[in-house]
Amino acid sequence: MNLNRQSVKQSTELGGKTQINIFFENSTRTQASFELAGKRLGADVMNLGVNTSSVGKGETLIDTALTLNAMKPDILVIRHPSSGAANLLADKVHCSVINAGDGTHEHPTQALLDALTIKRRRKTLAGLKIAICGDIKHSRVARSNILLLGKMGNLVRLVGPRTLMPSQIHELGVEIYHDLEDGLRGVDVVMMLRLQHERMTGSLIPSVREYYKTYGLNFEKLQAAKKDAIVMHPGPMNRGIEIDGNLADDINRSVIQNQVEFGVATRMAVMCLLCQDT
Amino acid sequence: MQIYSNAKIVDPEKGKVFTGNIAVSEGLIVEVSRNRIESSDNSVVIDCGSHFLAPGIVDFGVKIGEPGERHKESFRTAGLAAAMGGVTSMITRPDTSPSIDNPETLEFFTKRAHSATEIRIYPMATLTKQRLGEQMTEISLLLDAGAVGFTDCDSFIVNSKVMAHCLEYCSQNKALVIGHPQDPWLSGGASATSGKFATLKGLEGVSPIAERMGLERDLSLVELTGAGYHADQVTTRAGLDVLEESIGKGHNVSAGISVHHLTLNDLDVGEYRTFFKIKPPLRSEEDRCHVIEGLKRGVITIVCSMHTPQDEESKRKPFDEAASGAVGLQTLLPAILRLYHSGELDLPLIFKTLSYNPAQRFGLNAGKMSKGCQADFVLFDPNYPFILDRATLASKSKNTPFDGQTLQGRVLKTIVGGKIVFSQD
């Protein structure tokens, strides 16, 4: 983190290492974050977008993996629209694989950076009440956070319409709320999720404005939470859909910019750990 | 004449196992006896060495890659796998490319079958043209050409009026209709059964209720039309309940299940193993236990492999993109024997569901250990343990969920019409 705040943000920790980012889904934030993290550690970073790669020519994920593997990278960072894609890749290559989000499964580094943000702002990462709100069903961020924050001994609440809750989610040791204010009552952390338009199939919500009315976070609804509760969002935000624009920009409550900053640090740490013994 | 001597005969019809001898002549059983059968000069005696001799398996729902996908499976390789698996009759699916929806294609199919394998082939034809659920196929002509049943396989006929007409017409022709009961909307896009596992793995899940809804629709139309109907796979408690109700009302209804649904559950998918991706998806352990009970109570009557060959490429993908289906001809017997070894099913019941019941349901002269029945047998040792290596399978496609697993039971000989088509030694 300190390195990231200096004017010369460069170390040689990963000097000579090769990092390849393969993103089968568009991403600005995560891809940039991984790229910066690698570069600041001195690694050679290459980005492969889905449009420029031979995936567009019908190559399968496994063949892409084997091809890249033959180029002997040290770290592969993958984002893919299918759940389990990172597992599949990890099976076939010899280097470290970092899951930068696979389908509706997991997004582990996001959960780690969220945890770091919470720890910095709340001074602890245990015994907190944390509400994760919105489109849980399609959210890999939610799944990773439920696992991580739960494991650290926090009480995790999920808030959202029933149509956006995955089945049997209560078996993961979380509390379920369908009313936003009820769900926010007394919480330390409010984590908003993006409404994933691109994953919406069928009639999951009637309209965006109805969603904003019932599940959009604004200053008024936030009053149910603790006075010093922080507001988080993994981005990209839909202002005026799941979160009020002014609230998102209020640095007293919103830690969204911290999340982005800490994201780079978290990913640097993950990559350092993975390269330690190689 | 052939004499199969010193065999532990599994008789599913009478529900018993006894030591005895069987005489075969001109492809038919001529005598079954507990006592020694006198052999004449020109008779051949086959010593069964006190192993189990059961009626050959009649496997329902086998997909052969011909026509259209011979790179996945041909008649020759399917026949080989069947012989090695103790399957003496294959009731084949018409979801080929093109689909078997006219008598000419069916004739071609049958001709190819006879030239490539000695295993008996009983083809099904589609219920509607190109399996589109719109225009009924030529049911009567297809019956003449040898179709034993009519099904659009996993493509659910959405238009209830079309389905009603098909059922009415089939009823008039005494043709059996086979359904794949899954509500197509509720199950759309799903690759797993909904529940904690699917949620944790981020897989789109389908509720078992989709099976019940599909079944309820079909069974209502059966009630309306009086047609004979067989549900290819009933895999959940929800489905079992409505099935039992319909049977209770006296309708001409039956149901089957794949051996995969009987022996595996949704957790077996583990880390997105695509060989475990089948249709319908593997169910919860609770449902698995319920369908085993359903089998014991005689509500589900047919166990099959739903043999679905898929090439390597179509399985080497992320789980939601990968093709569904598993090969099963060669593993059907050792897989279901897991339930024998666990004490849940006895051998007569196993062969009732594998051989006797499907033969009865599809009107075949097979599945019995009695005089006049085709001499189709499987001689097997239920206790022989082995670790399955999928590379050793005879199928062109090797997509088995049992790869690397310990199984018990192997086929020693397979006999079709008195001819030994496979022998272990």
Q: How many residues does chain A have?
A: 278
What pLDDT, on a 0 to 100 scale, did the predictor assign at position B202? 95
Q: Where are any strands of DSSP class E within B232-353?
A: 253-258, 302-304
Mean pLDDT of A37-51: 90
**Contacts of residue B194, Cβ cutoff 8 Å, sequence gap at least 6:** A166, A167, A168, B205, B206, B207
Mean pLDDT of A256-270: 96
Confidence of residue A52 (pLDDT cuts 50, 70, 90): low
Q: Where are any strands of DSSP class E within B235-333?
A: 253-258, 302-304
B271 and A84 in contact by Cβ < 8 A?
A: yes
Place of tokens 């952390």: A189
Contacts of A140 in chain B (CB under 8 A): 202
A122 included as an active-site residue? no
What pLDDT, on a 0 to 100 scale, did the predictor assign at position A201? 62
- For A77-109, b where at least 16 C-beta lie within 10 A, e where not — what string? bbbbbbbbbbbbbbebbebbbbbbbbbbbbbbb
What pLDDT, on a 0 to 100 scale, did the predictor assign at position A58? 63
What pLDDT, on a 0 to 100 scale, did the predictor assign at position A7? 84
Confidence of residue A82 (pLDDT cuts 50, 70, 90): very high
- Spatial distance between the Cα atoms of A196 and A193, rounded to a whole number of angstroms: 9
Q: In the 8-state DSSP scheme, what is residue B39?
A: P
Question: Is 70 exceeded by the pLDDT of residue A278?
Answer: no
What pLDDT, on a 0 to 100 scale, did the predictor assign at position A200? 64
A29 included as an active-site residue? yes
> Are the CB atoms for A59 and A130 separated by under 8 Å?
no
B201 and A84 in contact by Cβ < 8 A?
A: yes
A30 included as an active-site residue? yes
- For B184-210, b where at least 16 C-beta lie within 10 A, e where not — what string? bebbeebbbbbbbbbbbbbbbbbbbbb
Contacts of B207 in chain A (CB under 8 A): 167
> Are the CB atoms for B249 and B196 separated by under 8 Å?
no
- Indicate the SS3 state at residue B195: coil
Q: With a cut of 70, list the residues of chain B below it in pLDDT.
A: none
Mean pLDDT of A58-66: 82
Of B196, B203, B272, the CB nearest to A171: B196
The CATH number that domain B56-367 falls under is: 3.20.20.140
The CA distance from B197 to the nearest CA of chain A, in Å, is: 9
Digit-coded pLDDT (tens) for A112-170: 999 999 999 999 999 999 999 999 999 999 999 999 999 999 999 999 999 999 999 99
Question: Is 90 exceeded by the pLDDT of residue A65?
Answer: no
Q: In the 8-state DSSP scheme, what is residue B96?
A: S
A67 included as an active-site residue? no
CB atoms within 10 A of CB A50: 16
**Contacts of residue B1, Cβ cutoff 8 Å, sequence gap at least 6:** B23, B24, B25, B30, B39, B40, B42, B43, B44
A172 and B196 in contact by Cβ < 8 A?
A: yes
**Contacts of residue A100, Cβ cutoff 8 Å, sequence gap at least 6:** A21, A23, A27, A30, A31, A34, A77, A78, A79, A107, A109
Confidence of residue A55 (pLDDT cuts 50, 70, 90): low
Indicate the pTM of the whole model: 0.93
Contacts of A88 in chain B (CB under 8 A): 272, 317-318
A80 and B199 in contact by Cβ < 8 A?
A: no
B195 and A168 in contact by Cβ < 8 A?
A: yes
- Spatial distance between the Cα atoms of B207 and B239, rounded to a whole number of angstroms: 11
A107 included as an active-site residue? yes
φ and ψ at residue B36, rounded to 5 degrees:
-65, 135
- Indicate the SS3 state at residue B5: strand
Q: Where are any strands of DSSP class E within B223-352?
A: 229-231, 253-258, 302-304
Where along chain B do its domains lie? 56-367
Digit-coded pLDDT (tens) for A105-124: 999 999 999 999 999 999 99
